[in-house]
Amino acid sequence: MNKRIVLSLALIASMNMYAFANESYGLQKVEVTQEGGLKAPMQNEAFSAPETSKLTIDKLTEEEIEIANPKNVFEAINMTAGANIQFQGRKNSAIITFRGSPNIYSAAAFGVILDGALLAPMSSLRMMESLSMDVIESIEVIRDASALTLGPIAGFGTPNGSPTLGYIVIKTKLPKRDGGSAKFAYESFNTKIADISYGGINDKIFYLASLSGYFTDGRDDFNTAEERGSVFVRSGYIDEGFSATISAYYSNADKETQKATDPLSSVTASEWKYKPVENEFISAILEKDFNQNNKTTLQLSHTKATWSQDLDRTNPSTATAPNIYFTGTQSTDSIDLRHAMKIADTTLKFGAQAMFYDAPDGELFYEGYERKEQIYGAFIHASHSFDNNRLTIDESFRVDRKHIDSSVERYDPNSVLAGNVTKLNNAELSIIEDQWAKSSIALSLGAIYKFDDNLEGSARFAYLTSGTPDDALSADGSDMQDEESYRYEVGLKKRINKYFSPTLNLFLYDNKNIKSPIYLGTNADPYIVFNQIDQKRYGGELGFEGTDKELYYSFSYAYATADVKDNEIPKHTVSAMLQKKIGDYALNFSGKYISTYESNFFTIDKEYHDVGDFISINLSLDYNHQLLGNDAKFSVYSRNLTDDNYVTIFGFEDQGRVIGASYAFKF
């Protein structure tokens, strides 16, 4: 389906449906009436973190997402504690880091689970950029030590063997009742947005469909124009003891990728464009309750990204044709089977996953070289309750094994001669074929104790190890070593009253043999070699929140540093949200502070330069009223109110202040 058709359908349908509204859909778990009829579809919770980790999980609810009014999922994630989303252009639009985690170029340090489906790195990044915020109910950031039951710790398509640092779990909306909504917005840079949704419940079947259209000219000289259309549908059957849910998504966009504006960047001329980039996603979850104490869940998913990338302006001096493209596809298929059972005060969960990744045309620095990999994994988790649920203790164990059918060699076996690093021979490429990587293994222990109804504390430990896919040598001539990580967390939460509930988390990560990539060669002859470093990262997060009928606020301060490469880590980050209701009006505020750190991302002089050191403020005013007897809302808002062209990764400035207005209404 052409994106312009999708966009036109969204706009035309929304104009014809004058009586729409910004319907609120909830997701928890399925409830069934005594007569067996469907009461309301609610979210499947099979893909959730252990109870002992709840103090360290950052979750954005639907209401908080509305307060922050983010442009996309990346901006929403950036409001969580300790997050630093490094926005940039080129082939990916963002790099996701938490707690000073390494700046992995492929941004695959965190996995993404969308409606139970495990997504591949490139697919997930492009989907998070294009998925309409109006179909999202919640976003959770579940870090490493708590994520062993969610998915593999081994990653696809990453330029090293580093274990996954955790998962971002995105849950989309489900209908509570028959109804729909429409929302229109106009913003700076001639940005036009339209979203239409309709959902309903019929006996034991529920459904939700959403159309979204997006168009922007982007800021002049930033190369950020985009035209996109998308379709999202979700439906399911729910009966007592059995449920089946299916989600599907498709987007099609002509999209420019932001170029660097700093003359010290080597990519200021990289005015690339996708013509088009498409994302496809389908996921099915089947769940069977055999009895009160036994439940089996099967998840199947398929994702695919397809793109044609205009490269003729990347290097104008060598371009010989008016249209030079890198055309590629990337697909990921996954199957996840898990079972949960309860025996007295113990809950036991175990399961297995298989993921199949194929990029026949290559990806990122590997254009033209097939990358085909599979990951097979299994986990077991046990949780025990004591003293009338005052104390909960759990244990988790996970093992993953990666098989590589075909990939460009990550390490150059000819780069070392007599113990000394030599110049790479870019004329000869080494290809990995039919190799198994060493197993990735992880285990964790967790505990949470309720001192009283208003005070609880938690502690977690995790050990992770991950090996490289071959026995080649590293950049400095030493043998490649397995990466190991020892991770410690403690948390404390006190509910003082409804206006003040502080939470404190402290962490220490002791990492051995982290693979630090060095990119050499060209697109035609790619090479990546690695340094290996040991690093200790430590810090913590302090947060508090409060709410009543007319006021909500949350605040988080995070500190992170390391004994090695601490210059790449913003030591201080602050996130804040506030909503004040006055009659029919609501004033919304959200803000983000990032302290100074350094970046050497494609710098001409190969040196580090200061980035960060900014405060970004978002402000909006909502007017809630009735339109033809239905709820409606008119909003005026600004993102980056102070018009700060801040930089989170060297060379790529924020576009600056955005002023906009939106109107949403129900039918």
What's the pLDDT tens digit per position in 532-591?
Answer: 788 999 999 999 999 998 999 999 999 999 998 899 999 999 999 999 999 999 999 999
pLDDT digits (tens, 9 = 90+) for 411-431: 444 433 333 333 344 444 567
Residue 360 has pLDDT above 60, yes or no: yes
Question: How many angstroms separate the CA atoms of 606 and 281, rounded?
Answer: 39
**What does the DSSP assignment read for 622-633?**
EEEEEETTEEEE
Distance, CA of 468 to CA of 54 (rounded, Å): 32
Tens-digit pLDDT profile for residues 191-206 = 999 999 999 999 899 9
CB 90 within 8 A of CB 267: yes
What CA–CA distance (Å, rounded) separates 201 from 32? 13
Domain holding 154: CATH number?
Answer: 2.40.170.20
* Residue predicted with more confidence, 427 or 445: 445
Give pLDDT, residue 31.
38
For 476-488, write each residue's pLDDT tens digit. 666 778 888 899 9
What's the pLDDT score for residue 540? 96
Number of C-beta neighbours around residue 431 at 10 A: 11
Across the range 443-453, mean pLDDT stands at: 95
8-12, 304-308, 519-523, 596-600: range with lowest mean pLDDT: 8-12
Cβ-contact 447, 459 below 8 angstroms: yes
Side chain identity at 285, as an amino acid letter? I
Choice between 475 and 28, residue whose per-residue pLDDT is larger: 475
Q: Across all residues in the chain, what is the average pLDDT?
A: 83
Q: String of b and e for 49-78 (b: at least 16 CB within 10 Å)? A: bbebbbbbbbebebebbbbbbbbbbbbbbb
Residue 472: band (very low, low, confident or very high) from pLDDT cuts 50, 70, 90:
very low
> In this model, does residue 526 exceed pLDDT 60?
no
Distance CA 360, CA 306 (A): 11
Q: Which residues pair with 438 in a beta bridge?
A: none
**Cβ atoms of residues 637 and 661 within 8 Å:** yes
d(CA 435, CA 452): 53
pLDDT-derived band at 307 (thresholds 50, 70, 90) equals confident
CB neighbour class for 387 (10 Å; exposed up to 12, middle 13-18, buried from 19): exposed
- Which pLDDT belongs to residue 327? 82
Residue 595: the pLDDT is 97
- For residue 296, pLDDT beyond 70: yes
Cβ burial, residue 587 (10 Å; 0-12/13-18/19+): middle
SS (H, E, C) 209-276: EEEEEEEECCCCCCCCCEEEEEEEEEEEEEECCEEEEEEEEEEEEEEECCCCCCCCECCCCCCCEEEE
Question: Contact 586/569 with Cβ under 8 angstroms?
Answer: no
What pLDDT, on the 0 to 100 scale, is given for residue 310? 77
> How many domains in the chain?
1
Quote the percentage of the chain above a pLDDT of 90.
Answer: 53
249-278 pLDDT per residue, tens: 999 999 998 889 999 998 888 788 888 999
Measured between alpha carbons, how far is 593 from 482 in angstroms, rounded to an integer? 36
Looking up tokens 């983010």 gives 70
CB 140 within 8 A of CB 59: yes
Query: Residues near 471 by Cβ (< 8 Å), separated by ≥ 6?
Result: 479, 480
DSSP 322: S
pTM for this structure? Answer: 0.85
pLDDT tens string 574-628: 999 999 999 999 999 999 999 999 998 888 888 999 999 999 999 999 999 999 9
Overall average pLDDT of the 35-59 stretch: 72
Residue 502 domain boundaries: 3-666
Q: How many whole angstroms separate alpha carbon 503 and alpha carbon 186?
A: 38
